């Protein structure tokens, strides 16, 4: 039995090494002065990071990405949450439809989605940045739907709404006062997940807006061949951001489960 | 004077008839139970009184006002749910005051009403607890308080105690009954547990297949079932046809009808008067159910059950021949 | 049947469906109709599809995509089958952390991943130099920008995804079953052969189809590595629709429809297999 355990530890360790070596290498590269002929870097420095964060083009790209993703997220939350709630609670007959719609984006990878979007909107006069935002709305739909749907199920939303209505609350009061506070943790988790998806999105951004609206991913792509060290610094920063987001997500959802698991006191 | 009247109510979900031209009337201050097996339509009936489902046909009148097509929030009915449905983001106090806030009452009035309700349901000291910090029984009392504080005309309770264990359930049954009598409120209580129904109701409506199979006081329903379904549901009635009855009682029992019900405890070990039927059977099995002993007996080829209070000096075992006495009026003809 | 109109429902569902129609359904329909139109004409034609299935170049792109997706998914799932099982042998705290790491690395794809591999295995990559200096020949003749290099990178992003999908399926194997089987006299080997593997098999196959769809649709990684030079289906589509002079959106649409259909098939297979697992559970 003991030996068995060791086998599992070895397997997991090797896998982790495999997954982390590219990251570690990038990390080291971002901290090294020059490193292209020797086994180890010739020196360590933070200058790539400081250079990066002083590059106005980078700051602009970062700001654009934040505006785009945060804007899309806010609109998505405001539109999706009430809609998913209203359909699951008041029109459960249509839930099957919704579930099918939600699967669509899975079957349409960015490059496929871009085909249709370009053919409709490229000559429509509508700003392609808005089109990109709209395509992001669709892209994160599955994540948002799952998260909101699960939260609604966990808090037993239908019964809560019935209880609130019998106590004299209107439908919108029931939604805002009773449902929203209880599904907020779930919404935050799926929003963070969606946020990290959007932050790493390259295909749609590249095809729909490309250089006209340089997001952080496009910036990285364009810098790849110019400066390896600077690119490393971007990748490392990007990964740190993912790390923080994942950590927040896990601790939030863990807090949620702890609440449910907490032992009931006896009468 | 009828306070809650349901007339000819029908409701189907797709092809399934859940309520079938059902009518009933309830007096003010009564506690009635809707009793029946799962799927009999009792919860649906309750939910249509609340307005959470809308019937296809028929009318519902509460306190002389027709509410059939009125929104739930305007019906002045309260409801306690099986899953409690307390708002998890609010404390006990906030839960109970929710309905009063919806009525836009003044803060001082809310404060005072909430306090006395907390007192009434016995949740003192738990005002600031969140639902997840309460035991099941406490949650149910908070839900009861939340529904009662708005002073509904009718309080509906949907299997409110079914998630609780036996001891707490018994205690809460008494408590609900006490509160109901103290406030004089009309209550409709849904349950599938016939003992619970008998313990707390003024009247029982026993439902089957979307219809009322029988209604009446607990005693009436228990002692005078009008059909095989009621007899089997209410107790462990022995249900026998004419032939089977003849095997047990002999040929000359002189009773008319096709189907009969005999409560197991109607068999007596001692004869009390002359006009009794005598039954002899071989004991097949003895089971001890706490204060009651149940025998399975066999006469000829017919099996039946008899129950007596448990007395420790008795030690009947299987194989024994037992003679029992049965009053003719306890052989109840069923339809 | 409903006599009251539900204002709240309408108010909240309308903007939602407007966006869904505008950015999901209309583009979808536009893509399909455009795939049945010859460039510059408006009449119905299947010329684009005949072109796709007779042109060696596009057939090669389809073949390359199918092959690379199949290989990367197969290797990814073979690795993950063992790793996910090993993870279940850790303490619950350890399992949680390992999944967090898997989740994080599964987000590490596309341009940043391609870059990390350039740093590691590119022409002047760290490993390339290291192994050259040490005179170890394992990377001799290795070219990251080749077909083989691409498979290596695809495997990288498949593994964490496969682990995350397989792990819950292993958790579905209840300890009780193993105990019951042991008490009935089964050896661990027999347990796996008779109960464990039959139980997880649909889950493994379903995961494989998700991985396959994931790889089929992947664009950014290959694009970041070698631009439009690599002949893969998504890359071809991207090149056909992006605004350069060779743009042929109708042909791109036909390829996109083909890609969408093949991914849908893969996902439907997964859906069907998952239902098998769930029926066993119920």
C67, C22: one domain: no
Q: Is residue C45 part of a domain?
A: no
Closest Cα in chain A, distance from residue C260 (Å): 6
Residue of C9, C11, C27, C88 best to disrupt the A interface, most CBs of A under 10 A: C27
Distance of residue A172 Cα from the nearest chain B Cα, in angstroms:
12
Q: Using a CB–CB cutoff of 8 Å, tell me whether C175 touches chain B.
A: no
Closest CA to B4 of B92, B72, B77: B77
The segments of chain C whose pLDDT lies below 70 read 1-5, 136-141, 243-246, 277-282
pLDDT value, residue A37 = 65
**Whole-complex ipTM:** 0.84
Compute the CA torsion angle B138, B139, B144, B147 (nearest 10 deg): 150
- Pick A265's closest partner by Cβ from B83, B102, B135: B135
> Tell me, what's the pLDDT at C194?
85
pLDDT digits (tens, 9 = 90+) for B93-103: 999 999 999 99
Q: Three-state DSSP class for A202?
A: coil
CB contact under 8 A, C27 and A117: yes
Q: Shortest Cα distance from C4 to chain B (angstroms)? A: 9
Q: Would you say residue C244 lies in a domain?
A: yes
B149: distance to nearest CA of chain A, Å?
10
Touching subunits of A (3+ CB pairs, under 8 Å) are B, C
Which tens digits make up the pLDDT trace of C85-105? 999 888 888 888 888 888 888
B280 compared with A260, residue with greater pLDDT: B280
Using CB atoms, which residue from A159, A259, A267 is nearest to B135?
A267
Measured CA to CA, the distance from residue B153 to residue B149 in angstroms comes to 11
How many Å apart are CA C255 and CA C239, to the nearest integer? 11
User: pLDDT tier at B193 (50, 70, 90 boundaries)?
Assistant: very high
Specify the CATH number for the domain of residue C231. Answer: 1.10.3720.10
Cβ-defined contact of B134 to A155 (cutoff 8 Å)? no
Q: Is the model more confident about B188 or about C137?
A: B188
8 Å CB contact of B150 and A167: yes
Could you report the per-residue pLDDT of B219-261, keeping only the tens digit for each?
A: 999 989 989 999 989 888 899 888 888 888 876 666 777 888 9
Q: Are residues C86 and C16 in the same domain?
A: no
Same domain, C67 and C13: no
Rounded CA gap, B211 and B39, in Å? 11
Chain B from 306 to 325: CB within 8 A of any A CB: none
Average pLDDT over residues B48-59: 92
**What is the pTM for the complete model shown?**
0.83
Give tens-digit pLDDT for A110-129: 889 999 998 889 888 888 99
Least Cα distance to B306 among B271, B259, B262, B275 occurs for B262
Contact A168 B103 (CB under 8 A): yes
C8 touches chain B (CB under 8 A): no
| Distance between A265 CA and the closest CA of chain C, angstroms | 25
Same domain for C78 and C11? no
* Residues of chain A positioned with their CB less than 8 A from the CB of C267: 103, 106-107
Using the beta-carbon criterion (under 8 Å), do B56 and C1 form an inter-chain contact?
Answer: yes
Quote the minimal CA–CA distance from B76 to chain C in Å.
19
Mean pLDDT of B310-315: 69
| Mean local confidence (pLDDT), B140-153 | 94
Residues in chain A within 8 Å Cβ distance of C15 = 79, 83
Check CB contact of B124 with chain C, cutoff 8 Å.
no
Give the per-residue pLDDT at C140. 63
Regarding whether C167 and C106 lie in a shared domain, the answer is yes
Q: Which of C15, C20, C117 sits opposite A22 (nearest CB)?
A: C117
Establish if C43 belongs to a structural domain.
Answer: no
What does each C-alpha distance from B328 to B241, B251, B253, B270 come to in angstroms?
16, 14, 8, 15
Give the end-to-end CA distance of chain A in Å, rounded to a whole number. 43
Measured between its terminal Cα atoms, the distance across chain C in Å is 34
The closest of B192, B282, B278, B194 to B236, measured between CA atoms, is: B194
Same-domain check for residues C28 and C62 = no
Q: What is the pLDDT of residue C280?
A: 57
State the angle between helix axes of A56-90 and A47-54 in degrees (0 to 180), rounded to the nearest 10: 70
Residue of B nearest to C6 (CA): B71
Residues C67, C199, single domain; the answer is: yes
Domains annotated on chain A, with CATH: 1-45 (no CATH), 55-254 (1.10.3720.10)
Set of chain A residues whose Cβ sits within 8 Å of the Cβ of B89: 178, 181-182
User: B87–A262: do the CB atoms touch at under 8 Å?
Assistant: no
Q: Given this model, what pLDDT does residue B318 score?
A: 83
Phi, then psi, of B213 in degrees rounded to 5: -75, -40
**C42 domain-assigned:** no
B: neighbours with 3+ CB pairs under 8 Å?
A, C
Closest CA to A114 of B245, C252, B68: C252
The tally of domains found in chain C comes to 2
Q: Where are the beta strands (DSSP E) in chain C?
A: none
**C271 plus C175 within the same structural domain:** yes
Q: CA nearest C263: which of B22, B215, A112?
A: A112
Give residue C170's domain range.
50-281
Q: Is residue C41 part of a domain?
A: no
Beta partners for residue B24, in sequence order: B6
Tokens 């934040």 sit on residue: A66
B13, closest residue in chain C (CA to CA): C1
- Best mutation target, C23, C110, C131, to test chain A (most A CBs within 10 A): C23
CA distance A173 to chain C (A): 11
Distance, CA of B253 to CA of B328 (rounded, Å): 8
- Quick one: closest CA in B to A160, which residue? B85
Scanning every residue of chain C, which has its alpha carbon at the shortest distance from the alpha carbon of B53?
Answer: C2
Please report residues of A whose CB lies closer than 8 A to that of C216. 109
- B-chain residue closest to A173, CA distance: B102
Chain C interface includes B171 (CB < 8 A): no
Lowest mean pLDDT among B22-31, B193-202, B305-314: B305-314
Tell me the mean pLDDT in the region B288-315.
Answer: 83
Confidence class for position B37, pLDDT limits 50, 70, 90: very high
Q: Which residues in chain A are contacts of C112 at CB distance < 8 A?
A: 200, 220, 234-235, 238-239
What does the pLDDT read at residue A261? 37
Instruction: Give a yes or no: residue C188 inside a domain.
Output: yes
> Block means of pLDDT (10 residues each) for chain A, length 267 residues?
75 90 86 70 78 88 91 94 92 88 86 90 87 94 91 91 92 92 88 87 90 89 82 86 79 58 37
Q: A-C interface: how many C-beta pairs under 8 angstroms?
A: 240
Residue A25: which of C79, C116, C220 has the nearest Cβ? C116
* B73 in contact with chain C, both atoms CB, cutoff 8 A: no
The strand ranges marked E within chain B are: 2-13, 16-27, 31-35, 57-62, 65-66, 77-80, 154-158, 186-191, 203-208, 211-216, 238-241, 259-262, 276-289, 292-299, 302-309, 321-327, 332-334
Please tell me whether residues C18 and C75 are part of one structural domain.
no
Closest to B121 measured CA to CA, from B180, B53, B166: B180
- Record the tokens describing residue C242, joined without a space: 């992006």
Q: Is residue C44 part of a domain?
A: no
Alpha carbons A148 and A159: distance in angstroms, whole number: 16
Residue C70 is assigned to a structural domain of this protein: yes
Q: How confident is the model at residue B157 (pLDDT cuts 50, 70, 90)?
A: very high
Other chains touching C, judged by 3 or more CB pairs under 8 Å? A, B
Asked if the C-beta of B56 comes within 8 angstroms of chain C's C-beta atoms, the answer is yes
Judging contacts by C-beta atoms under 8 Å, the chain A residues touching residue B71 are 165
Q: What is the pLDDT of residues B2-36, one digit of tens each?
A: 899 999 999 998 888 899 999 999 999 999 999 99
Check residue C187 and give its pLDDT. 86
Residue C100 sits in the same domain as residue C29:
no
Which of B319 and B214 is assigned the larger pLDDT? B214
Mutating which of C2, C4, C6 best tests the B interface, going by the most B Cβ atoms within 10 A?
C4
In angstroms, the separation between the Cα of residue C224 and the nearest Cα of chain A is 7
- Shared-domain flag, residues C154 and C235: yes
């Amino acid at each position: 039995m003991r030996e068995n355990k060791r086998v599992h530890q070895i397997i997991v360790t090797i896998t982790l090494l495999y997954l982390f070596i590219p990251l570690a290498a990038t990390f080291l590269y971002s901290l090294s002065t020059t490193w292209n002929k020797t086994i180890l870097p010739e020196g360590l420095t933070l200058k790539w990071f400081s250079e990066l964060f002083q590059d106005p083009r980078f700051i602009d790209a970062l700001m654009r990405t934040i505006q785009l993703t945060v804007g899309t997220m806010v609109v998505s939350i405001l539109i999706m949450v009430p809609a998913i709630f209203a359909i699951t609670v008041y029109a459960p007959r249509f839930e099957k439809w919704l579930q099918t719609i939600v699967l669509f984006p899975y079957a349409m990878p960015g490059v496929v989605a871009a085909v249709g979007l370009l053919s409709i909107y490229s000559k429509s006069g509508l700003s392609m940045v808005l089109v990109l935002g709209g395509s992001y709305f669709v892209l994160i739909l599955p994540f948002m739907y799952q998260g909101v749907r699960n939260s609604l199920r966990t808090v037993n939303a239908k019964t809560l709404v019935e209880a609130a209505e019998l106590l004299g609350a209107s439908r919108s009061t029931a939604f805002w006062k009773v449902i929203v506070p209880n599904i907020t943790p779930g919404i935050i988790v799926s929003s963070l997940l969606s946020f990290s998806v959007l932050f790493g999105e390259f295909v749609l951004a590249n095809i729909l807006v490309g250089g006209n609206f340089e997001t952080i991913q496009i910036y990285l792509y364009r810098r790849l061949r110019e400066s390896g060290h600077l690119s490393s610094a971007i990748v490392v920063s990007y990964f740190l951001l993912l790390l923080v987001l994942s950590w927040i997500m896990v601790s939030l959802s863990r807090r949620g489960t702890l609440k449910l698991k907490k032992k009931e006191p006896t009468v | 004077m009828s306070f809650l009247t349901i007339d000819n109510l029908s409701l189907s979900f797709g092809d399934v008839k859940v309520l079938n031209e059902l009518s009933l009337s309830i007096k003010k201050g009564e506690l009635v139970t809707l009793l029946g097996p799962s799927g009999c339509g009792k919860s649906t009936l309750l939910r249509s009184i609340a307005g959470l489902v809308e019937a296809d046909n028929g009318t519902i009148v509460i306190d002389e006002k027709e509410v059939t097509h009125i929104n739930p929030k305007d019906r002045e009915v309260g409801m306690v749910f099986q899953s409690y449905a307390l708002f998890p983001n609010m404390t006990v106090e906030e839960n109970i005051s929710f309905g009063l806030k919806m009525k836009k009452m003044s803060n001082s009035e809310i404060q005072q009403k909430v306090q006395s309700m907390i007192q009434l349901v016995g949740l003192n000291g738990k005002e600031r607890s969140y639902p997840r910090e309460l035991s099941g029984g406490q949650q149910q009392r908070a839900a009861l308080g939340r529904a009662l504080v708005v002073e509904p005309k009718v309080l509906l309770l949907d299997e409110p105690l079914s998630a609780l264990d036996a001891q707490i359930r018994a205690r809460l049954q008494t408590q609900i009954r006490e509160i109901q009598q103290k406030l004089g409120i009309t209550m409709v209580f849904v349950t599938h547990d016939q003992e619970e129904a008998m313990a707390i109701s003024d009247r029982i409506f026993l439902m089957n297949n979307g219809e009322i199979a029988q209604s009446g006081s607990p005693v009436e329903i228990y002692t005078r079932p009008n059909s095989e379904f009621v007899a089997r549901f209410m107790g462990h009635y022995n249900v026998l046809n004419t032939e089977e009855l003849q095997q047990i009682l002999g040929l000359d029992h002189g009773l008319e009808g096709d189907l009969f019900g005999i409560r197991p405890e109607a068999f007596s070990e001692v004869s009390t008067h002359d006009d009794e039927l005598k039954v002899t059977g071989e004991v097949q099995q003895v089971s001890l159910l706490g204060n009651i002993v149940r025998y399975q007996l066999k006469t000829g080829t017919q099996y039946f059950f008899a129950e007596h209070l448990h007395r420790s000096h008795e030690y009947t075992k299987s194989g024994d021949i037992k003679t029992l006495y049965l009053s003719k009026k306890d052989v109840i003809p069923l339809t | 049947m409903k006599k009251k109109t539900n204002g709240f429902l309408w108010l909240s569902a309308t903007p939602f469906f407007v966006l869904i129609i505008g950015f999901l359904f209309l583009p979808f329909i536009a893509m399909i109709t455009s795939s049945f139109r010859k460039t510059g004409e408006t009449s119905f034609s299947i010329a684009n599809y005949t072109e796709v299935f007779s042109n060696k170049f596009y057939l090669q792109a389809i073949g390359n995509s199918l092959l690379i997706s199949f290989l990367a998914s197969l290797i990814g799932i073979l690795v993950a089958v063992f790793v996910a099982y090993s993870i279940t042998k850790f303490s619950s705290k350890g399992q949680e952390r390992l999944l967090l790491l898997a989740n994080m690395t599964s987000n590490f794809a596309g341009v940043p991943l391609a870059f990390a591999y350039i740093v590691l295995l590119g022409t002047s990559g760290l490993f390339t130099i290291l192994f050259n200096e040490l005179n170890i020949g394992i990377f001799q003749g290795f070219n990251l920008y080749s077909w083989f290099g691409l498979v290596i990178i695809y495997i990288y992003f498949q593994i964490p995804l496969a682990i995350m999908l397989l792990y819950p399926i292993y958790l579905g194997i209840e300890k009780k079953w193993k105990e019951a089987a042991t008490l009935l006299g089964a050896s661990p080997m027999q347990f796996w052969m008779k109960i464990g593997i039959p139980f997880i098999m649909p889950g493994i196959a379903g995961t494989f189809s998700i991985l396959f769809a994931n790889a089929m649709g992947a664009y950014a990684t290959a694009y970041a590595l070698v631009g439009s030079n690599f002949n893969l289906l998504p890359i071809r589509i991207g090149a056909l629709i992006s605004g350069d002079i060779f743009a042929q959106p109708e042909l791109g649409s036909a390829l996109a429809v083909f890609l969408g259909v093949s991914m849908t098939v893969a996902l439907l297979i997964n859906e069907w297999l998952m239902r098998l697992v769930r029926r066993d559970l119920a």
